[in-house]
Amino acid sequence: MGIIQDFDVDVVSEELKAGDILIMMSDGVFDGPSHVENIEFWLKRKIKEMETDDPQEISDLILEEVIRTKGIIDDDMTVVTSKIKHNTPKWASIPVSPKRKKAQ
């Protein structure tokens, strides 16, 4: 939000499930390298190529890639990554646990 008085917000309604990863980034990251024509496609490709699902590693790798490719930091850059986990409250009457394989 920074210093901008008026801004537009795109409202997106998606149902996230256990195992999904949500990545939010500031415009400083999304502006990306000037020589990249389609930054959205470029970022999606870079994210798909990642071999980790750890939220901190994903954020670090995105920032590292943008900074290395861009060469300079001319705006603030923030990446927030969350991994959605299944939560069964302690008070749940019927506990749900992963299926276990039977010993043979």
Q: How far apart are alpha carbons 46 and 76 in whole angstroms? A: 20
* H or E segment to which residue 58 belongs: helix 55-70
pLDDT in tens, 22-53: 999 888 888 767 777 888 898 899 999 999 99
**What is the reported pTM?**
0.71
Percent of the chain with pLDDT over 70: 84
Say whether pLDDT at 5 is over 80: no
- Of the CA atoms within 13 Å of residue 49, those in its CB half-sphere come to 9
User: What is the reported pLDDT for 103?
Assistant: 62
User: What is the reported pLDDT for 89?
Assistant: 75
The pair of structure tokens assigned to 28 is: 């400083």
**Pick from 34, 18, 26: which is nearest to 71 by CA?**
34
> Residue 29, class by beta-carbon neighbours within 10 Å (0-12 exposed, 13-18 middle, 19+ buried)?
buried
User: What is the reported pLDDT for 71?
Assistant: 80
DSSP secondary structure letters along 23-48: EEE-HHHHH--TT-S-HHHHHHHHHH
